Every structure is written in structure tokens, then in C-alpha cells.
Structure 1
Amino acid sequence: MGFLHSMICETDGIQAIAPVQWRSFDDMCAVYWHARATKGAGGYYISPDPRIMLFFDDISGRARMAEDAEAVTTAGRPMLQALYVPPGRPMWTRFSDNHKFSHLDLHFNRRWLQGKLAPVLGEAAANAAILRPVERQDVAPLIVIGHTLARELATPSRHPLFAESLAMSLISGLLDLSEEADLIELASGGLTPMQMRRLRAMVAESGGARLSTGVLAEAVGLSESWFTQAFKKTTGKTPLQWQQEQRIALVKELLLRGDLSIASVADRFGFADQAHLTRVFRQYEGTTPAAWRREQRLSL
């Protein structure tokens, strides 16, 4: 007998509308669903095995997800087309409208997946990759692979190795197989240097405008709750505190580069007025923007 998943699944208002296609392999199990969800339908899912969910149509406008039963209705995020769910990670879902959808579920033997990734990434980096959740929307190449695998489930035509190779293509295309140092950092529960660089670039590109935690989390492919914990572990600050520091750094750069008035600088970075900028700037630098600029120019 091949590998069978051990997922706990509780749904309400979701039902299959066609025979479920599934196939068990030595170290993975693949399931292809056509289903219907009614408005308000939802589900709870948790598995000791790593898994992939690949939706063949965009359900982000109709379905939301969270790692908490309460949050899924109040602060859940859109369910994107491709998800990698680490072992032991709970998921609650909720549909806001009636919807028909199809998706492919792949469940993997964790030891097998570790064995596939470790020779390429190293043991620590492979383990970190397996523990990191991923949510992506722009997955057109993966959809093509997913359809091919779904057809192979319905009508097997080749050796099982073909289906397993398609599954590995989905894994390598979906998981963020970053540099080893980055992945080792993930194993400790923090954000990687690459993710922090991406966040700094976002803040700079926004002109210092405040970005929501949800927007920051989405930019690095994490859920909001997971991101908040990882961010605090990495920086020792909340996303809001860190953004304020980044804004002040941008303010200082502009103060040195030109002769804009303090009021103009305040307006450029989204402060209410000059007094607001001065108050925040003093909290971080212990002096006013004008005094800081004078001191810096005198020291050059």
C-alpha cells in the first residue's frame, strides 16, 4: 500500500460534485476535487504531513483563510491559488458566496520530502523550507503542471515516477528555496535577510507611507499572524515600530540631500504637519529635524 495522509478535515457547506480522483504513491498521496461551497461554508484542516493545495480557478474573492477559528471571519486573508502548508499547521476557511471550484491536494511523507531537498539545500535548510508556509497567486506555470498531474490521476498512462516528478516540480516551483543562510534563519522562526531587504525596499518605494501588517506579510509570502511573530523575533519590534524607524531614516536622508523646509519633508513622508514630524523625530534622535540637519552639516 502507498502513502496515505492523516489529515483531520471538518467541513460544513462544502461537498464534492464529481467523483474524487485520487492516487496513492510510495511517499505521497494526490487528490483531485470538484466541489461546491455555499455562502458561509467553511472548513477546518490540520495534518502532520506537509501538503500543497493548488486551485485551478481564482477563489481569492470568495474564500478566506486563517490559522484561528475566530480570525477567519474577522481578519482572515484571501485564499490564494497555490498554498504550501507545513506539517502541523491548522487552517480555517470561510466562503463569502456560493462557488464551484476544483483543486489538487498533494500530501507528502515528510521524511521523503526532506530526503529530496537535503542533497540540494543541506539538512538544516531543507528542514527550514519544509516548515515555512507559502501562499502565491501568480502561479500560471504551476497550473499547467497541476492539470497534467490531475489527468494522470484520472487516467494513469505512465510509470508512477512521472506523477512523482510532476509533484516535485510543483514543490520546487512553489516553495521559496532561498539561500541556505536564509532558510536556516527560518528554522529559528525569524525572517530571512532576503525578506528583510524586500520589506525595506517596500517602505522606501512607498515614500514612507505606513503599510499595513497584512501588506507586509503578503510581500514575504507569510500569513499575518505568522509574520507578526517572525518579525518580532527578528527585529525585536512590532511592524509599526519598525516602519516608524524606517520613515525617520528616510527623513534623515532627505534632510541631508536637499534644502527642503521641515514642513515639506513632513508632508513628503505622510506626517500630519511639521510639529508631528518634530515630535516623532525627537523621540528617535533626541533633537529636532532642523537642529539635527545643522549638526550634520557642520560635521561634514
Structure 2
Amino acid sequence: MSHHNRLKPQRPTESVRRIEAGPWAVELLPAAAYSTHYVAAQSAIGFAFDSQRGLHAIGSDRVQPFAARPNSLAFVPAGCDVLSESPEGGEYLRLMRIDGTPLVGDRAFNNRIDRQAINLAQTMRGALLQARVDDDWEAWAHALAERANRSEIPAAPLQGSITNRRMRLLDEFIDAGLESTLTVKAMADLLGLSEGYFMRAFKQATGKSPHSYLVDRRLARARAMLLDSTARLSEIANSCGFSSQAHMTSAFRQRLGTSPAELRRT
């Protein structure tokens, strides 16, 4: 049910909203009529927010009616022949890896109801509609991928994965590369862990996601530079790894309740 290569919509609609974060691409497809037929070049996870009706043939030559349940999870493996069309469509979230790593799974499915997947998809939809500094796309994407492949979820809590020595190594790595784009994959590779395992272990060890921890480190460096240097705000934002001065200002207001300029004045 991964679809929405939208052709000839019958009414004006919003554009597709898309964000790329680390190895992930996330798209929010607005409700619209669609008709598509393709062979999936890569595996994809889908989430239908609305009920949908139409015709489809997923990995089969047989075209048959379908009725997608609202708030349901779907998966289409790479190489799957997909034909799908609906006169109304429905709002739909699509998640893909863009680093060449295939999503786990070799069988297409849809209409899976999973409470955690619902919460994750709703969170991601809200963030696509209104972004915030605290948006943790990589963590959300990994978690939703695990819900689509439940066998990847560990049965027991993780123990001892992020030791004090490993945390010091991570801090040194983060501080050395803070002005650049630091990915979860790079941090996980540093410790020889998979991305999903690293993210769970990091949260257990620190109480924060890697993304939230990075924002805190960037803010700490920015605060020090504001107080100890005369560098322009745009230079500080660049040195601390913020995408722009506006991004840094937004982070200050959301996390600290003040702006960089106000902090420097006081």
C-alpha cells in the first residue's frame, strides 16, 4: 500500500511535505486521488491516517478492491510490483532509507494496527506540519521501522552498552565535529553498534536521545561563545553546527526561554 505517485488529482491539494534526516527520508502525502503502477526500487514503510478505498495489486497480477483502515501500518519490500489507485485517496506517511541500506522485510502487508506506530506517525505528521528544534527524526524513523519489523525489538532491557569510557569517547567525537553534521550512524559506528541498538542504549544511559543530546551540546558551546567572544551571531551559529542563525535563535527560545542576543546583553 506504499503508493501516491499521484497522477491527475481531481481537486487542488497541498504539496507533498518531505524531510531528510540522516539516512531517512519521510514524506507526508496529502489526501488526493491517485493512480500508479511501479516496481518498488526500495523498500518503504507506509502509514494511512485516513480510510482509503480503491483497487490494488501488491506483488500480484490480481487486481482487487482494497479498503485501508485508518491509522494502519503498511510495508512494501524492494522489487515488489505495485499497482494502486483510489478516487479519493487519503493522507499518508511514507518512510524510506536513502543511504542504500534496505529496510528489513520481504513480505508486503497493510492494515496492521499498532498503538506505538500510531503515536509515532502522529508525532511525525505534526512535526512535518510545524517543525521544532526538538524534532528527533532519526529516533522516530528507527522506532517506526522497528514497529514494522517487530522481531527487531529487543525482548529485554539493554545493559552496559554505553559505559563511562564510551561516553567520554562520544563526547570527544561530538565536540570535535560539532560544527559539522553529526549523524547517528557515525556515532554508532564509532562504538561498533547498529544504529537502532545505539539509540536505545544511548537513551538508557543518558535519559536523552542522541538528537536531544546534540542540541544541548550545541547550545552549551553557543552560550560560551556568546559570553566569551565578540563573534557575530551568524558565526557562532555556524561554529556550533546550527543550520542558520534563525535555527540557533529558535533553539535558544525553545530550550532556554531567551534569545542569543538577549543573553549576550545580560
The normalised TM-score by structure 2 is 0.40
In terms of Rg, which structure is larger?
Answer: 1
Q: Counting helix residues as a fraction of each chain, which structure ranks higher?
A: 1
The normalised TM-score by structure 1 is 0.35
